[in-house]
Structure 1
Amino acid sequence: MINRRSLRVKVLQLLFSYYNQVIHKQDKKKLQLEISKQLNKSILDIEKSYYDIISLLIVFKNINEEKKMISENELIKKSALRFNLSKNSIINFLETNSTVIDGLIKHKNGWSTKTEKIRNWYNILLQQEFYKIYISIEQPSFDEDYNFLQNLILKFLFKYEDIKKSFEEENIFWSEDFLIVKSMIKKTLKTLNSSNFNTFATASLSEDIKDDVKFACSLFDFVIDNSNEYDEYISKFAKNWDFDRISLMDRTILRMGIGEMTNFSNIPLKVSINECIDIAKNYSTPKSGKFINGLLDVISLNLQKEDKIIKTGKGLIDNK
């Protein structure tokens, strides 16, 4: 499931992209709109990647089924155990489950355009030790089907470099989205704990995706629309620092922090500041966290004096 940290990181990345591009653009509003749409799409694409993984399971199963039919038609004497994948009870269930089908229809994948690549992946799969163990089992039990499925996803789909590269080509945010998709898949696997599938449920990207998208896109727009004002605060309180010497990444994090503190009345100041500190530690320099912390703390105190920070809930104003 996506969280506010993930949303803030997406906003940061696209703000950074905007500031890098805007100096070369005459129509700044057009650029802002284009990147805002990209932000919206990047959030929704996480769910698409989740269904792409499920779809790939079904594609592998169907290739195995196809190989089985060819073998039977050509009267090739090959062990039926080679085709355990085509009979995997869980993948067959996923293929026919109405919720999964609806998700696959909603998020059309591009696997049909990568037939040769997928068949290469399938051939690599055949060489994996966990696959060889699976096909050596006569009439796999539900638990054995489940263990194979876990290995297929966690040891192969999420780790084989060419598959990872394919997702990266489709989604420039895959390095961050990967962890969210992985957690969603793991959550789904946990619901597949009985052979009658009565506990099965697909994972939701968010409890309120509209609210999450609104938060991210609003924060993005607030920062861009008020960049000049935010920069004045940064320049004023960044003692011993020339504004132009502050890295673009740190400036972007600071702008984002000010934007969140002044425009979201239900988010505690402490949360906004701490989130920016942690993001700075991961996406900027080793010293950036401390720098961001000190500067946002001072700026927040002055914004409160100017009545530019208004919080509606108890305890939301405390930034100590």
Structure 2
Amino acid sequence: MMLNRRHIRVKVMQTMYAFKGSESDDFSKDQKFLLFSIDNMYNLYLLLLSLLIEVQKRAESDLQKKQKKHLATKEDKDPNRKFVNNQLLKFLKDNDQLKGKLEAHNITNWDLDSEYVDIIFKNIIASDLYKNYMNTRVSDFKEDKDFIVDVFKEIIAPNDKLYDYMEDKNLTWLDDLPTVNTTILKLLRKVKENASEGYFSPKLYKDIDDKQFAIDLFRKTLLNQTAIKTEITQKTKNWDSERIAKVDYVLLQMAICELSNFPSIPVKVTINEYLEISKEYSTPKSSIFINGILDKLVKEYEASGELNKVGRGLM
């Protein structure tokens, strides 16, 4: 699976951040957007995997063109086919389950935007990675796999033009890119020669509970906005509310909602998750601010018996 609970919290945060209404409004549109932006992550995953397949096809047609040249050299007539025959690329290209997913999600970008396939192909060909790989004519699965892992990590993932392309195509993709790149790298590193057809078609959510968690966290935070805001105001009397970063405010709302409405999630887990997200998405001092407020709240809840956590070891 691709998504963990932290990614889900980040997605809810982004949707909450963009939400303009109040708790009495109909927010089914926003909930749809939340689920759509999570689903859209899978399209980005498929898009990047299909780029590897297109690069292999591009290499193949390149060789064919050279062989047909009027003045073909010896190297043109008998080229080193190591890259074109890369076993991992062939596994991706011939994988029917992956083909089915690409069709179902309508991933045809590279047909129209083939210049990006060219850019990546040329970058690969010009790299030392490629020169070293092509020093010999034969390879085993491990060498083929290691080469593709390096190509993805050093050439595809950091490519600026590709990054701009993603940004143009879909704004939420930029936030998804680190997660998707990590998922692809993990799969490429761990793939075995006898991998199943479904290996490169992981599930987006671990289980149905995770999808429900996304919906519940979003809805419950919005539905309890007034009460949660009162809690925050009481705990931030010395703070000018205008000065509290909007991201911090959203994260606090979600954390308080989670502490109060999700009995099976341990307090420690909730607090750690929101501190980590604030370190990544907000100001350097945010995590200290958020930690201070949540700490005070938890002590109060404990004292008044309001922390209804179930199961053992949930503090």
Q: Which moved more, 1:33-42 or 1:133-142?
A: 133-142
TM-score by length of structure 2 reads 0.85
TM-aligned CA distance change 1:274 to 1:133, over 3 Å: closer
Give the distance between the partners of 2:211 and 2:299, measured in 1 at CA: 29
C-alpha deviations, 1:19-75, integer Å up to 9, x for none?
xx449xxx9845x33332222122223332222222111101111212222233345
Give the distance between the partners of 2:210 and 2:195, measured in 1 at CA: 31
- Partner residue in 2 for 1:61: 56
Give the distance between the partners of 1:226 and 1:212, measured in 2 at CA: 21
SS in 1 for 2:121: helix
Q: Given the alignment, which residue of 75, 85, 88 partners 2:83?
A: 85
RMSD of Structure 2 on Structure 1 (CA): 2.8
- Partner residue in 2 for 1:158: 157
Give the distance between the partners of 1:271 and 1:237, measured in 2 at CA: 21
1:190 aligned partner, one-letter code: R
Give the distance between the partners of 1:143 and 1:275, measured in 2 at CA: 37
- Partner residue in 1 for 2:293: 295
SS in 2 for 1:285: coil
Q: Which moved more, 1:166-175 or 1:228-237?
A: 166-175
**Matched-pair contact (CA < 8 Å) for 2:220–2:257:** yes
Q: Given the alignment, which residue of 206, 213, 216 partners 1:215?
A: 213
Give the distance between the partners of 1:286 and 1:156, measured in 2 at CA: 31
1:112 aligns with 2:111: yes
With CA pairs under 8 Å and 6+ residues apart, which has the higher RCO, 1 or 2? Answer: 2
Give the distance between the partners of 1:172 and 1:28, measured in 2 at CA: 28
Give 1:10-25 correspondences, 5 Å limit: 10-18=11-19, 21-22=20-21
**Matched-pair contact (CA < 8 Å) for 2:278–2:287:** yes
Give the distance between the partners of 2:304 and 2:41, measured in 1 at CA: 40
Q: CA deviation at 1:306?
A: 6.2
- Partner residue in 2 for 1:38: 33
Q: CA deviation at 1:111?
A: 1.8
**Matched-pair contact (CA < 8 Å) for 2:101–2:201:** no
SS in 2 for 1:86: coil
**Matched-pair contact (CA < 8 Å) for 2:43–2:105:** yes
TM-score by length of structure 1 reads 0.84
Q: Which moved more, 1:295-304 or 1:272-281?
A: 295-304
Q: CA deviation at 1:165?
A: 2.3
Give the distance between the partners of 1:80 and 1:226, measured in 2 at CA: 70
Give the distance between the partners of 1:95 and 1:263, measured in 2 at CA: 46
- List runs of 5+ in structure 2 lacking aligned partners: none
**Matched-pair contact (CA < 8 Å) for 1:81–1:137:** no
C-alpha deviations, 1:162-182, integer Å up to 9, x for none?
122223333434444233223
2:161 aligned partner, one-letter code: D
Q: Given the alignment, which residue of 268, 271, 276 partners 2:269?
A: 271
TM-aligned CA distance change 1:294 to 1:197, over 3 Å: closer
- Partner residue in 2 for 1:192: 191
- List runs of 5+ in structure 1 lacking aligned partners: none
Length, aligned pairs only: 310
TM-aligned CA distance change 1:124 to 1:28, over 3 Å: farther
Q: Which moved more, 1:120-129 or 1:298-307?
A: 298-307
Q: Which moved more, 1:169-178 or 1:119-128?
A: 169-178
Q: Which moved more, 1:264-273 or 1:201-210?
A: 201-210
Give 1:91-110 correspondences, 5 Å limit: 91-109=89-107, 110=109
